[in-house]
A and B are shown apart, each in its own frame.
Chain A
Amino acid sequence: MEENNTLLTIALPKGKLGKDAVQILNAADYPTEGLKTDSRKLLFDYPDSKVRYIVCRPTDIPIYVDYGAADLGIVGKDSIFESNKDVFELLDLKFGWCRFVLAVPRTTAEKHTDPDGRVNLNNFNHARVATKFPRVAEAFFREQGIQVEVIKLHGNIELAPMVNLAEMIVDIVSTGATLKENDLVAVADIFPASARVIANRVSYRMKYQRVQKLIEKMRDYVDGGGKTCD
């Protein structure tokens, strides 16, 4: 098989992460002229370079890649973990940093703070936790040996403790501003996440040379300092 004659389809996330993704593709000598991840257009074809980009919601990217609708995807580790899809994780792009935290209202945190200044999570046995990331939350509490009730919401998680829907939240934060505005404090770090390149397990082998070449160029760019994002 002449693999260089085959089309490579790359899934890109909408929004801010998408802009950084376009930049790194450009740095890796991939066509990006007219490529926008925040327009209404969802498909961008570059037949001369045998590349097609599809733009979709970050949480959907592991699904496109798992099914092989896209060969590669650029997406945050948060979406990869939550999707639990069988994809290969090839490279840490080291932008789009954020971290998963467990947060509770400030008053609750103060009440349960130990003399050494730490909040003991055992106080939250059988509590309710609101989150957009039930898998992350379940995995974290299982590891801690704490039973909780996970309530899946689709946005504005910080509202849940205010209206007594949940005692705590698991969410991703980058600066922590949202937590602060809502009088919430992070009591445990779960794990940090950044943007990754993922690959379909068959595409990774059938289109190996093209994939590997692109990954190496991206790696050089990332290792060379590239652009660091907040």
Chain B
Amino acid sequence: MPQKVGLQLPHGMRDLLPGDTKLIRDLENLFVDRFSRWGYFEVITPVLEYYENLLPAETPEDQFFKLIDREGQILAMRTDMTTPIARMVAAKIGQEQFPLRVFYLANVFRYESPQRGRQREFFQAGVELIGDPAPTADAEVITLAVECLKEAGLEGFQISIGQVNFLKGIIDSMDVDSPVKDGITQAISRKDFVELEMLLDKQRIDPGLKSMILSLPALRGGVQVIDQAITLTENVTAREALENLREVFHLLDVYGVGKEVFVDFGIMRDFDYYSGIVFEGYSPGVGAPICGGGRYDRMLGKYGLDAPATGFAIGMERLMLALETEHQVDRTTVDYLIVGSDPAQAIKKAQELRGQGFSVLVAGLGQSLPVAARKKLEL
């Protein structure tokens, strides 16, 4: 064993050993194939950017890894990929190429307290569809997310979908000050129903409206939930949000993924950042969402190019955890191990099999290799 003292990694950073790396790369390859079939092209942006250009990510300030360059500029590591891509699109691509379909496989960094499924460096795979405001765009990215999770071999997952403007419309129409509205919004997005009820009581909200708001998170299920919700409000914004949700849901049915998707008005994600449809994917055994996304029509405007956009990201580590919870994942096994006393013969056979697309290892007689093989050939 090598000496261990002095070889530690910073908190929240990890090495990916061959087994983990193979799993992550295999998944990425599946996703690249899937994204390409839908006409998305890969982009790469730098890990480091000017801090101020990353602010639209709305990551809490203390979660950025920051450094100062020799000219005194503040640089930061990206905390997501949507923000750098929005910057890149505004600066380098422009609306002539809309609707633009791009995907990425990238590591991002957040200074959070590390725990299972949450490191300070983590890997994401995702897509952005920029310049298309239609429900067909939302349905496309949600379907793509579902296909990716299925393709990865994940079985017991579900996608919850909501529309932030539904609640926003209802809360905006309330006759209270804006800090109270923020408090209500936060309580709902944190799912702190106790706080929510206390806030509504304190403001002497009309009992009908109060019980309606309290019942919203319980409104959950298939498309019929949208019909239920529409009877609850006269607010124009809220009703438009529901119509939008209905259209997206209908398209998801057409795509054949309606079974995996549930309406959930409690899904808020980040209220300021998202502007329409939002969704999250869950798997039993992983205590946090494995993927998430939605419509963010205000983001590109912050870079001077107003454009509607929608997309999602899959958390690769969380997906790996979910897959491992469901079944044993085969990691470092090769297809063939060839053992022979005549090296020339063994090499010839190995090359023949490699040519056919198999992974092959050659061992001398009596030599043992620390890798499992599906088939052993003794020549």
User: Chain A's nearest CB lies how many Å from the CB of B38?
Assistant: 27
Q: Are B285 and A1 in contact (CB under 8 A)?
A: no
Q: Are B197 and A92 in contact (CB under 8 A)?
A: yes
Q: Are A205 and B190 in contact (CB under 8 A)?
A: no
Chain B contact residues, CB within 8 Å of chain A: 115-116, 156, 158, 160, 190-195, 197, 218, 220, 262, 264, 282-289
Q: What are the nearest 4 A-B pairs in CB distance?
A: A68-B287, A88-B191, A92-B194, A89-B192
Known contacts A204-B191, A205-B158; 18 additional CB pairs below 8 A are A1-B158, A66-B287, A67-B115, A67-B116, A68-B287, A88-B190, A89-B191, A89-B192, A90-B193, A199-B191, A202-B282, A202-B287, A203-B287, A205-B160, A205-B262, A206-B282, A206-B284, A208-B220
Chain B's closest residue to A202 (CB) is B282
Chain B's closest residue to A67 (CB) is B287
Asked if A196 lies at the interface with its beta carbon under 8 angstroms from chain B, I say: yes
Chain A's closest residue to B267 (CB) is A205
CB neighbours of A196 from chain B (8 A): 194
CB neighbours of B116 from chain A (8 A): 67
Q: Are B282 and A89 in contact (CB under 8 A)?
A: no
Chain B's closest residue to A84 (CB) is B113
Report the bound CA distance from A77 to B218 in whole Å: 22
Indicate which residue in A91, A92, A201 contacts B288 across the interface (CB closer than 8 Å). Answer: A201
Chain A's closest residue to B193 (CB) is A90
Q: Are A201 and B287 in contact (CB under 8 A)?
A: yes
Report the bound CA distance from A91 to B264 in whole Å: 19
CB neighbours of A89 from chain B (8 A): 190-195
Chain A's closest residue to B284 (CB) is A206
Chain A's closest residue to B198 (CB) is A92
Q: Are A206 and B158 in contact (CB under 8 A)?
A: yes
Interface string of A1-17 (1 = CB under 8 A from B): 10000100000000000
CB neighbours of B156 from chain A (8 A): 1, 206
Report the bound CA distance from A89 to B287 in whole Å: 15
CB neighbours of A92 from chain B (8 A): 194, 197
Q: Are A200 and B287 in contact (CB under 8 A)?
A: yes
Given contacts A67-B115, A89-B194, A196-B194, contact A202 B218 (CB under 8 A): no
Report the bound CA distance from A86 to B53 in whole Å: 28
Residue with the greatest number of chain B CB neighbours at <10 A, chosen from A200, A203, A205 = A205
Chain A's closest residue to B325 (CB) is A68
Pairs across A and B, CB under 8 Å, 28 listed: A1-B156, A1-B158, A66-B115, A67-B115, A67-B287, A68-B285, A68-B286, A86-B288, A88-B190, A89-B190, A89-B191, A89-B192, A89-B193, A90-B193, A90-B194, A196-B194, A201-B289, A202-B282, A202-B286, A202-B287, A202-B288, A202-B289, A203-B284, A205-B158, A205-B264, A206-B158, A206-B283, A208-B220
Q: Are B283 and A202 in contact (CB under 8 A)?
A: yes
Asked if A175 lies at the interface with its beta carbon under 8 angstroms from chain B, I say: no
Q: Are B284 and A6 in contact (CB under 8 A)?
A: yes
Asked if A49 lies at the interface with its beta carbon under 8 angstroms from chain B, I say: no
User: Chain A's nearest CB lies how many Å from the CB of B290?
Assistant: 9
CB neighbours of B287 from chain A (8 A): 66-68, 200-203
Chain B's closest residue to A216 (CB) is B218
Asked if A212 lies at the interface with its beta carbon under 8 angstroms from chain B, I say: yes
CB neighbours of A204 from chain B (8 A): 191
Report the bound CA distance from A196 to B285 in whole Å: 23
CB neighbours of B190 from chain A (8 A): 88-89
CB neighbours of A88 from chain B (8 A): 190-193
Report the bound CA distance from A206 to B220 in whole Å: 12
CB neighbours of B193 from chain A (8 A): 88-91
Report the bound CA distance from A214 to B167 in whole Å: 25
User: Chain A's nearest CB lies how many Å from the CB of B318?
Assistant: 10
Interface string of A179-199 (1 = CB under 8 A from B): 000000000000000001001
CB neighbours of A68 from chain B (8 A): 285-287
Report the bound CA distance from A68 to B286 in whole Å: 7
Q: Are B286 and A212 in contact (CB under 8 A)?
A: no
Residue with the greatest number of chain A CB neighbours at <10 A, chosen from B192, B194, B218, B283 = B194
CB neighbours of B285 from chain A (8 A): 68
CB neighbours of B289 from chain A (8 A): 201-202
Q: Are A202 and B192 in contact (CB under 8 A)?
A: no
Q: Are B194 and A91 in contact (CB under 8 A)?
A: yes
Chain A's closest residue to B155 (CB) is A1
CB neighbours of A200 from chain B (8 A): 287
Indicate which residue in A1, A6, A90, A212 contacts B191 across the interface (CB closer than 8 Å). Answer: A90
Report the bound CA distance from A141 to B88 in whole Å: 43
Chain A's closest residue to B117 (CB) is A67
Report the bound CA distance from A55 to B10 in whole Å: 35
User: Chain A's nearest CB lies how many Å from the CB of B215?
Assistant: 11
Chain B's closest residue to A212 (CB) is B218
Report the bound CA distance from A208 to B218 in whole Å: 9
Report the bound CA distance from A201 to B286 in whole Å: 10
User: Chain B's nearest CB lies how many Å from the CB of A111?
Assistant: 36
Report the bound CA distance from A172 to B73 in whole Å: 47
Report the bound CA distance from A206 to B289 in whole Å: 11
